[in-house]
Amino acid sequence: MPNLSPDSPTDTVGGLPTSEGVPQKGFYTSERDAKAVNFVDLSAPFQLVGRQAQFQRITQVLARDGNLLIVGVPGSGRRTLVRRAAQEVGVKILEVDCIRVTDGQRFVQLLCESIDQTFQCATVQALMREWIERKAPELFVLRDEGSGRQRLKPVRAESQEQQWGAFEGLLNLLQRLAESSGERVVLILESFPHIRSWDRNGVWEKFLRKEIERQTQVSYVLVATIAETSLHPDEPGNSLATVQLAPLSDDVVAAWVQAVLHGEGLTFDPRSQALELFVNAVQGHLGDASALVRRLKSVRVSDGLIRNEHVEQAIQELLTDLSMVFESLLMLLPANQAHLLESLALDPTDKPQSRDYIHKHYLSRGGSLQGAIAGLQHKGLIYGSEQGYRLALPLFALWLRQRLS
Protein backbone atom coordinates (compact mmCIF):
# COMPACT_ATOMS: atom_id res chain seq x y z
CA MET A 1 0.00 0.00 0.00
CA PRO A 2 1.57 3.33 -1.00
CA ASN A 3 2.30 6.00 1.57
CA LEU A 4 -0.52 8.50 1.29
CA SER A 5 0.44 10.57 4.28
CA PRO A 6 -0.58 14.20 3.88
CA ASP A 7 1.83 17.05 3.96
CA SER A 8 1.32 19.30 6.94
CA PRO A 9 -1.35 21.77 5.81
CA THR A 10 -0.21 25.37 5.81
CA ASP A 11 -3.73 26.76 6.12
CA THR A 12 -5.58 24.96 8.89
CA VAL A 13 -7.98 25.75 11.70
CA GLY A 14 -8.08 23.38 14.65
CA GLY A 15 -5.98 20.82 12.80
CA LEU A 16 -8.39 20.64 9.84
CA PRO A 17 -7.74 22.05 6.35
CA THR A 18 -9.86 25.02 5.45
CA SER A 19 -11.70 26.16 2.39
CA GLU A 20 -11.15 29.88 1.91
CA GLY A 21 -10.36 30.21 5.60
CA VAL A 22 -13.50 28.37 6.79
CA PRO A 23 -12.95 25.05 8.60
CA GLN A 24 -15.11 22.26 7.20
CA LYS A 25 -16.84 21.15 10.39
CA GLY A 26 -20.22 20.53 8.83
CA PHE A 27 -19.60 16.78 8.74
CA TYR A 28 -19.23 16.44 12.50
CA THR A 29 -22.26 15.91 14.69
CA SER A 30 -20.96 17.94 17.60
CA GLU A 31 -18.26 20.36 18.63
CA ARG A 32 -16.76 17.58 20.74
CA ASP A 33 -16.43 15.33 17.64
CA ALA A 34 -14.72 18.13 15.74
CA LYS A 35 -12.25 18.67 18.58
CA ALA A 36 -11.55 14.95 18.91
CA VAL A 37 -9.65 14.82 15.62
CA ASN A 38 -7.17 17.37 16.96
CA PHE A 39 -5.52 14.43 18.74
CA VAL A 40 -5.00 12.53 15.46
CA ASP A 41 -1.50 12.95 14.04
CA LEU A 42 -2.30 13.73 10.41
CA SER A 43 1.38 14.05 9.55
CA ALA A 44 1.90 10.35 10.31
CA PRO A 45 2.07 7.83 7.46
CA PHE A 46 -1.43 6.90 6.32
CA GLN A 47 -1.26 3.39 7.77
CA LEU A 48 -0.71 4.83 11.25
CA VAL A 49 -3.38 7.53 11.18
CA GLY A 50 -5.89 6.55 13.82
CA ARG A 51 -3.76 3.54 14.75
CA GLN A 52 -1.07 5.22 16.85
CA ALA A 53 -2.16 3.49 20.06
CA GLN A 54 -2.12 0.05 18.41
CA PHE A 55 1.24 0.80 16.80
CA GLN A 56 2.71 1.75 20.16
CA ARG A 57 1.34 -1.44 21.71
CA ILE A 58 2.83 -3.62 18.96
CA THR A 59 6.18 -1.85 19.24
CA GLN A 60 6.25 -2.40 23.00
CA VAL A 61 5.49 -6.10 22.62
CA LEU A 62 8.20 -6.67 20.02
CA ALA A 63 10.72 -4.57 21.95
CA ARG A 64 10.47 -6.92 24.93
CA ASP A 65 10.71 -10.10 22.81
CA GLY A 66 6.98 -10.71 23.19
CA ASN A 67 4.57 -12.56 20.93
CA LEU A 68 1.46 -11.10 19.38
CA LEU A 69 -1.92 -11.95 17.93
CA ILE A 70 -3.16 -9.16 15.66
CA VAL A 71 -6.72 -9.43 14.42
CA GLY A 72 -8.74 -7.50 11.90
CA VAL A 73 -10.37 -7.80 8.50
CA PRO A 74 -8.38 -7.77 5.24
CA GLY A 75 -7.33 -4.22 4.42
CA SER A 76 -7.29 -3.03 8.03
CA GLY A 77 -3.51 -2.60 8.05
CA ARG A 78 -2.47 -5.59 10.18
CA ARG A 79 0.74 -6.56 8.39
CA THR A 80 1.77 -2.97 7.71
CA LEU A 81 1.58 -2.08 11.40
CA VAL A 82 3.65 -5.13 12.36
CA ARG A 83 6.27 -4.47 9.69
CA ARG A 84 6.64 -0.85 10.73
CA ALA A 85 6.87 -1.81 14.40
CA ALA A 86 9.51 -4.43 13.62
CA GLN A 87 11.53 -1.84 11.72
CA GLU A 88 11.09 0.58 14.62
CA VAL A 89 12.71 -1.84 17.10
CA GLY A 90 15.34 -3.02 14.60
CA VAL A 91 14.57 -6.72 14.18
CA LYS A 92 14.73 -9.01 11.18
CA ILE A 93 11.37 -9.84 9.60
CA LEU A 94 10.37 -13.23 8.22
CA GLU A 95 6.93 -13.85 6.72
CA VAL A 96 4.95 -16.95 5.80
CA ASP A 97 1.54 -16.60 4.15
CA CYS A 98 -0.46 -19.50 5.56
CA ILE A 99 -3.05 -19.14 2.80
CA ARG A 100 -0.39 -20.70 0.56
CA VAL A 101 0.19 -23.56 2.99
CA THR A 102 -1.76 -26.60 1.81
CA ASP A 103 -0.02 -29.29 3.88
CA GLY A 104 2.95 -29.88 6.16
CA GLN A 105 5.43 -30.16 3.32
CA ARG A 106 4.36 -26.84 1.86
CA PHE A 107 4.64 -25.24 5.33
CA VAL A 108 8.22 -26.50 5.58
CA GLN A 109 9.04 -25.25 2.08
CA LEU A 110 7.72 -21.72 2.67
CA LEU A 111 9.35 -21.41 6.09
CA CYS A 112 12.61 -22.62 4.60
CA GLU A 113 12.38 -20.02 1.80
CA SER A 114 11.70 -17.24 4.29
CA ILE A 115 14.71 -18.19 6.43
CA ASP A 116 16.91 -18.43 3.35
CA GLN A 117 15.85 -15.01 2.04
CA THR A 118 16.35 -13.33 5.41
CA PHE A 119 19.73 -14.81 6.40
CA GLN A 120 22.05 -14.42 3.41
CA CYS A 121 25.49 -13.41 4.67
CA ALA A 122 28.43 -15.82 4.43
CA THR A 123 28.80 -16.14 8.21
CA VAL A 124 25.19 -17.23 8.62
CA GLN A 125 25.48 -19.65 5.72
CA ALA A 126 28.44 -21.25 7.47
CA LEU A 127 26.27 -21.65 10.58
CA MET A 128 23.54 -23.24 8.46
CA ARG A 129 26.00 -25.66 6.91
CA GLU A 130 27.33 -26.69 10.30
CA TRP A 131 23.81 -27.11 11.68
CA ILE A 132 22.72 -29.27 8.71
CA GLU A 133 25.77 -31.52 9.03
CA ARG A 134 25.26 -32.03 12.76
CA LYS A 135 21.47 -32.00 13.11
CA ALA A 136 19.65 -32.70 9.87
CA PRO A 137 21.75 -33.96 6.94
CA GLU A 138 18.84 -36.08 5.72
CA LEU A 139 16.36 -33.19 5.82
CA PHE A 140 18.10 -30.12 4.33
CA VAL A 141 20.79 -29.16 1.86
CA LEU A 142 22.62 -25.99 0.87
CA ARG A 143 22.42 -25.98 -2.91
CA ASP A 144 24.28 -23.73 -5.34
CA GLU A 145 21.77 -22.49 -7.92
CA GLY A 146 24.09 -20.14 -9.78
CA SER A 147 23.05 -17.05 -7.84
CA GLY A 148 26.46 -16.58 -6.26
CA ARG A 149 25.43 -18.15 -2.98
CA GLN A 150 24.01 -21.38 -1.70
CA ARG A 151 20.31 -21.71 -0.99
CA LEU A 152 18.75 -23.56 1.92
CA LYS A 153 16.44 -26.26 0.56
CA PRO A 154 14.40 -29.02 2.20
CA VAL A 155 14.87 -32.57 1.02
CA ARG A 156 11.53 -33.91 -0.19
CA ALA A 157 10.00 -35.74 2.75
CA GLU A 158 8.83 -39.28 2.10
CA SER A 159 6.76 -39.52 5.28
CA GLN A 160 4.87 -37.38 7.75
CA GLU A 161 7.58 -38.12 10.30
CA GLN A 162 10.16 -36.50 8.01
CA GLN A 163 7.91 -33.49 7.44
CA TRP A 164 7.49 -33.14 11.17
CA GLY A 165 11.23 -33.44 11.76
CA ALA A 166 11.93 -30.78 9.13
CA PHE A 167 9.37 -28.40 10.66
CA GLU A 168 10.76 -28.87 14.17
CA GLY A 169 14.28 -28.48 12.83
CA LEU A 170 13.53 -25.20 11.07
CA LEU A 171 12.05 -23.65 14.20
CA ASN A 172 15.16 -24.68 16.13
CA LEU A 173 17.38 -23.36 13.33
CA LEU A 174 15.62 -20.01 13.44
CA GLN A 175 16.27 -19.71 17.19
CA ARG A 176 19.89 -20.82 16.67
CA LEU A 177 20.51 -18.26 13.90
CA ALA A 178 19.04 -15.46 16.00
CA GLU A 179 21.21 -16.42 18.98
CA SER A 180 24.40 -16.78 16.93
CA SER A 181 23.96 -13.54 14.99
CA GLY A 182 22.94 -11.58 18.07
CA GLU A 183 19.93 -10.29 16.15
CA ARG A 184 16.31 -10.61 17.11
CA VAL A 185 13.81 -12.01 14.68
CA VAL A 186 10.08 -11.59 14.10
CA LEU A 187 8.26 -14.37 12.27
CA ILE A 188 4.92 -13.15 10.87
CA LEU A 189 2.45 -15.94 10.14
CA GLU A 190 -0.19 -14.33 7.94
CA SER A 191 -3.71 -15.83 7.96
CA PHE A 192 -2.44 -18.26 10.57
CA PRO A 193 -5.76 -20.03 11.28
CA HIS A 194 -5.80 -21.30 7.67
CA ILE A 195 -3.50 -24.16 8.67
CA ARG A 196 -6.49 -25.78 10.37
CA SER A 197 -7.86 -26.59 6.91
CA TRP A 198 -5.28 -29.40 6.69
CA ASP A 199 -3.99 -29.69 10.28
CA ARG A 200 -7.30 -31.27 11.29
CA ASN A 201 -6.06 -32.67 14.62
CA GLY A 202 -4.22 -29.48 15.54
CA VAL A 203 -0.87 -31.26 15.93
CA TRP A 204 1.19 -28.69 14.04
CA GLU A 205 -0.60 -25.76 15.64
CA LYS A 206 -0.18 -27.09 19.18
CA PHE A 207 3.52 -27.70 18.66
CA LEU A 208 3.99 -24.25 17.16
CA ARG A 209 2.22 -22.60 20.07
CA LYS A 210 4.54 -24.42 22.51
CA GLU A 211 7.54 -23.20 20.54
CA ILE A 212 6.18 -19.66 20.72
CA GLU A 213 6.35 -19.83 24.51
CA ARG A 214 9.73 -21.58 24.61
CA GLN A 215 11.80 -19.51 22.18
CA THR A 216 13.41 -16.33 23.44
CA GLN A 217 15.15 -14.72 20.45
CA VAL A 218 12.23 -15.12 18.05
CA SER A 219 8.99 -13.17 18.37
CA TYR A 220 5.94 -14.71 16.72
CA VAL A 221 3.14 -12.63 15.25
CA LEU A 222 -0.04 -14.47 14.31
CA VAL A 223 -2.22 -12.54 11.88
CA ALA A 224 -5.90 -13.51 11.90
CA THR A 225 -9.38 -12.18 11.32
CA ILE A 226 -11.55 -10.74 14.06
CA ALA A 227 -13.34 -14.07 14.37
CA GLU A 228 -10.19 -15.69 15.75
CA THR A 229 -9.88 -13.72 18.97
CA SER A 230 -11.80 -16.20 21.10
CA LEU A 231 -10.42 -19.44 19.67
CA HIS A 232 -8.22 -21.74 21.78
CA PRO A 233 -8.02 -19.36 24.77
CA ASP A 234 -6.59 -21.95 27.17
CA GLU A 235 -4.07 -23.74 24.96
CA PRO A 236 -0.30 -23.47 25.48
CA GLY A 237 1.24 -20.69 23.45
CA ASN A 238 -1.91 -18.62 23.42
CA SER A 239 -0.83 -16.25 26.17
CA LEU A 240 -0.23 -13.72 23.43
CA ALA A 241 -0.64 -10.00 23.56
CA THR A 242 -3.67 -9.19 21.42
CA VAL A 243 -4.21 -6.15 19.25
CA GLN A 244 -7.54 -5.77 17.49
CA LEU A 245 -8.08 -3.34 14.63
CA ALA A 246 -11.60 -1.99 14.48
CA PRO A 247 -12.74 0.28 11.64
CA LEU A 248 -11.41 3.83 11.84
CA SER A 249 -13.88 6.38 13.15
CA ASP A 250 -15.63 8.60 10.60
CA ASP A 251 -14.01 11.64 12.22
CA VAL A 252 -10.51 10.27 11.65
CA VAL A 253 -11.24 9.36 8.02
CA ALA A 254 -12.80 12.76 7.34
CA ALA A 255 -9.87 14.66 8.85
CA TRP A 256 -7.32 12.53 7.03
CA VAL A 257 -8.88 12.69 3.56
CA GLN A 258 -9.27 16.47 3.80
CA ALA A 259 -5.61 16.82 4.75
CA VAL A 260 -4.48 14.56 1.88
CA LEU A 261 -6.52 16.44 -0.70
CA HIS A 262 -5.42 19.79 0.74
CA GLY A 263 -1.86 18.78 -0.14
CA GLU A 264 -3.02 18.33 -3.76
CA GLY A 265 -4.71 21.74 -3.86
CA LEU A 266 -8.14 20.14 -3.55
CA THR A 267 -10.90 20.36 -0.99
CA PHE A 268 -14.46 19.14 -0.63
CA ASP A 269 -17.07 21.71 -1.60
CA PRO A 270 -18.58 22.69 1.78
CA ARG A 271 -21.94 23.33 0.08
CA SER A 272 -22.13 19.74 -1.13
CA GLN A 273 -22.30 16.33 0.54
CA ALA A 274 -19.08 15.14 -1.09
CA LEU A 275 -17.25 14.54 2.19
CA GLU A 276 -20.18 12.57 3.62
CA LEU A 277 -20.34 10.49 0.43
CA PHE A 278 -16.67 9.61 0.79
CA VAL A 279 -16.91 8.70 4.46
CA ASN A 280 -20.09 6.69 4.02
CA ALA A 281 -18.56 4.77 1.12
CA VAL A 282 -15.44 3.62 2.99
CA GLN A 283 -16.96 3.20 6.47
CA GLY A 284 -13.64 3.37 8.26
CA HIS A 285 -11.94 0.73 6.09
CA LEU A 286 -8.28 1.59 5.59
CA GLY A 287 -7.81 -0.13 2.24
CA ASP A 288 -10.98 1.22 0.65
CA ALA A 289 -10.20 4.75 1.87
CA SER A 290 -6.73 4.52 0.35
CA ALA A 291 -8.04 3.30 -3.00
CA LEU A 292 -10.77 5.94 -3.23
CA VAL A 293 -8.57 8.87 -2.25
CA ARG A 294 -6.07 7.91 -4.97
CA ARG A 295 -8.89 8.37 -7.47
CA LEU A 296 -9.85 11.74 -6.07
CA LYS A 297 -6.27 12.99 -6.10
CA SER A 298 -6.37 12.83 -9.91
CA VAL A 299 -9.48 15.03 -10.16
CA ARG A 300 -8.79 18.25 -12.00
CA VAL A 301 -11.24 21.07 -11.43
CA SER A 302 -10.60 24.77 -12.04
CA ASP A 303 -11.70 25.92 -8.59
CA GLY A 304 -10.18 22.98 -6.69
CA LEU A 305 -13.56 21.96 -5.22
CA ILE A 306 -14.57 18.30 -5.18
CA ARG A 307 -18.31 17.94 -5.49
CA ASN A 308 -20.80 15.09 -5.20
CA GLU A 309 -20.41 14.03 -8.82
CA HIS A 310 -16.64 13.70 -8.48
CA VAL A 311 -16.93 11.34 -5.52
CA GLU A 312 -19.73 9.36 -7.16
CA GLN A 313 -17.73 8.98 -10.38
CA ALA A 314 -14.62 7.87 -8.48
CA ILE A 315 -16.66 5.26 -6.58
CA GLN A 316 -18.24 3.88 -9.75
CA GLU A 317 -14.89 3.68 -11.56
CA LEU A 318 -13.41 1.83 -8.60
CA LEU A 319 -16.34 -0.61 -8.47
CA THR A 320 -15.96 -1.27 -12.19
CA ASP A 321 -12.27 -2.04 -11.78
CA LEU A 322 -12.96 -4.34 -8.82
CA SER A 323 -15.99 -6.09 -10.28
CA MET A 324 -14.05 -9.13 -11.55
CA VAL A 325 -12.44 -9.58 -8.15
CA PHE A 326 -15.76 -9.26 -6.34
CA GLU A 327 -17.48 -11.63 -8.78
CA SER A 328 -14.80 -14.26 -8.28
CA LEU A 329 -14.95 -13.87 -4.51
CA LEU A 330 -18.70 -14.36 -4.49
CA MET A 331 -18.48 -17.45 -6.70
CA LEU A 332 -15.95 -19.08 -4.37
CA LEU A 333 -18.28 -18.86 -1.38
CA PRO A 334 -20.52 -21.78 -0.36
CA ALA A 335 -24.15 -21.15 -1.32
CA ASN A 336 -25.34 -20.50 2.24
CA GLN A 337 -22.55 -17.99 2.88
CA ALA A 338 -23.16 -16.17 -0.43
CA HIS A 339 -26.90 -15.96 0.32
CA LEU A 340 -26.32 -14.59 3.81
CA LEU A 341 -23.75 -12.09 2.54
CA GLU A 342 -26.16 -10.78 -0.08
CA SER A 343 -28.93 -10.53 2.51
CA LEU A 344 -26.73 -8.52 4.89
CA ALA A 345 -25.63 -6.24 2.06
CA LEU A 346 -29.21 -5.48 1.00
CA ASP A 347 -30.76 -5.47 4.44
CA PRO A 348 -28.23 -4.81 7.24
CA THR A 349 -29.16 -6.11 10.68
CA ASP A 350 -27.48 -6.73 14.00
CA LYS A 351 -29.67 -9.82 14.51
CA PRO A 352 -29.32 -12.16 11.52
CA GLN A 353 -30.31 -15.07 13.79
CA SER A 354 -33.72 -13.58 14.54
CA ARG A 355 -36.79 -15.49 13.37
CA ASP A 356 -38.11 -12.52 11.38
CA TYR A 357 -34.85 -12.00 9.49
CA ILE A 358 -34.51 -15.72 8.73
CA HIS A 359 -38.08 -15.85 7.43
CA LYS A 360 -37.74 -12.61 5.42
CA HIS A 361 -34.63 -13.75 3.56
CA TYR A 362 -35.33 -17.50 3.43
CA LEU A 363 -32.22 -18.33 5.43
CA SER A 364 -31.51 -21.77 6.84
CA ARG A 365 -32.11 -22.16 10.53
CA GLY A 366 -29.86 -23.45 13.29
CA GLY A 367 -26.39 -24.81 12.64
CA SER A 368 -26.33 -23.98 8.94
CA LEU A 369 -26.89 -20.28 9.64
CA GLN A 370 -24.38 -20.22 12.48
CA GLY A 371 -21.89 -21.99 10.24
CA ALA A 372 -22.42 -19.40 7.50
CA ILE A 373 -21.90 -16.55 9.97
CA ALA A 374 -18.73 -18.15 11.34
CA GLY A 375 -17.44 -18.88 7.84
CA LEU A 376 -17.90 -15.29 6.69
CA GLN A 377 -16.22 -14.00 9.84
CA HIS A 378 -13.34 -16.42 9.37
CA LYS A 379 -12.83 -15.06 5.84
CA GLY A 380 -12.99 -11.48 7.15
CA LEU A 381 -16.07 -10.65 5.06
CA ILE A 382 -18.34 -9.67 7.94
CA TYR A 383 -17.75 -8.35 11.42
CA GLY A 384 -19.03 -10.05 14.52
CA SER A 385 -21.69 -8.88 16.92
CA GLU A 386 -19.47 -6.03 18.18
CA GLN A 387 -19.88 -4.30 14.80
CA GLY A 388 -23.43 -5.46 14.17
CA TYR A 389 -22.58 -8.20 11.61
CA ARG A 390 -22.09 -5.61 8.89
CA LEU A 391 -20.01 -6.34 5.82
CA ALA A 392 -16.33 -5.73 6.51
CA LEU A 393 -15.45 -4.62 2.96
CA PRO A 394 -17.57 -1.52 2.28
CA LEU A 395 -16.92 -1.29 -1.47
CA PHE A 396 -17.80 -4.96 -1.82
CA ALA A 397 -21.04 -4.28 0.04
CA LEU A 398 -21.81 -1.35 -2.26
CA TRP A 399 -21.10 -3.50 -5.32
CA LEU A 400 -23.42 -6.20 -4.04
CA ARG A 401 -26.23 -3.73 -3.42
CA GLN A 402 -25.91 -2.30 -6.92
CA ARG A 403 -25.72 -5.77 -8.42
CA LEU A 404 -28.82 -7.01 -6.63
CA SER A 405 -30.99 -3.89 -6.88
pLDDT at 73: 92
Mean pLDDT, rounded, for 197-224: 89
Q: Which amino acid is at 116?
A: D
More reliable by pLDDT, 145 or 25: 145
Residue 2 within any structural domain of the chain: no
**Residue 43 structural domain:** 12-47+248-328
DSSP state of 27: T
On whether both 144 and 75 belong to a single domain, the answer is yes
Residue 343 pLDDT > 90: yes
On whether both 214 and 232 belong to a single domain, the answer is yes
Residue 7 within any structural domain of the chain: no
Residue 287 within any structural domain of the chain: yes
Could you say which of 290, 308, 328 is where a domain stops?
328
Highest mean pLDDT, choosing among 159-163, 197-201, 233-237, 325-329: 325-329
User: DSSP string spanning 98-153?
Assistant: GGG--SHHHHHHHHHHHHHHH--SHHHHHHHHHHHHHH-TTTEEEEE-SSSSEEEE
Could you say which of 310, 328, 346 is where a domain stops?
328
Task: Band the pLDDT of 227: cuts 50, 70, 90.
Answer: low
Residue 192 within any structural domain of the chain: yes
On whether both 136 and 170 belong to a single domain, the answer is yes
On whether both 240 and 252 belong to a single domain, the answer is no
Select from 203, 195, 252 the least CA-distant residue to 378.
195
On whether both 87 and 213 belong to a single domain, the answer is yes
Task: State the total domains in the chain.
Answer: 3
On whether both 268 and 354 belong to a single domain, the answer is no
DSSP state of 39: G
Residue 3 within any structural domain of the chain: no
On whether both 381 and 308 belong to a single domain, the answer is no
Residue 183 pLDDT > 90: no
On whether both 103 and 198 belong to a single domain, the answer is yes
In terms of DSSP H, where are the helices of 8-121? 31-36, 52-63, 78-89, 104-118
Q: Mean pLDDT score of the chain, rounded to an integer?
A: 84
Residue 27 pLDDT > 90: no
Give the Cβ contact number of residue 289 at 10 Å. 28
On whether both 261 and 306 belong to a single domain, the answer is yes
Could you say which of 306, 328, 350 is where a domain stops?
328
Q: Which residues pair with 242 in a beta bridge?
A: 69
Task: List the CATH number of the domain containing 232.
Answer: 3.40.50.300
On whether both 352 and 229 belong to a single domain, the answer is no
Residue 1 within any structural domain of the chain: no
pLDDT at 32: 40
Residue 270 within any structural domain of the chain: yes
What CA–CA distance (Å, rounded) separates 254 from 245? 18
On whether both 361 and 303 belong to a single domain, the answer is no
Residue 15 pLDDT > 90: no
On whether both 218 and 305 belong to a single domain, the answer is no
Q: Give percent of the chain above pLDDT 90.
A: 59
Residue 5 within any structural domain of the chain: no
- SS3 for 404? helix
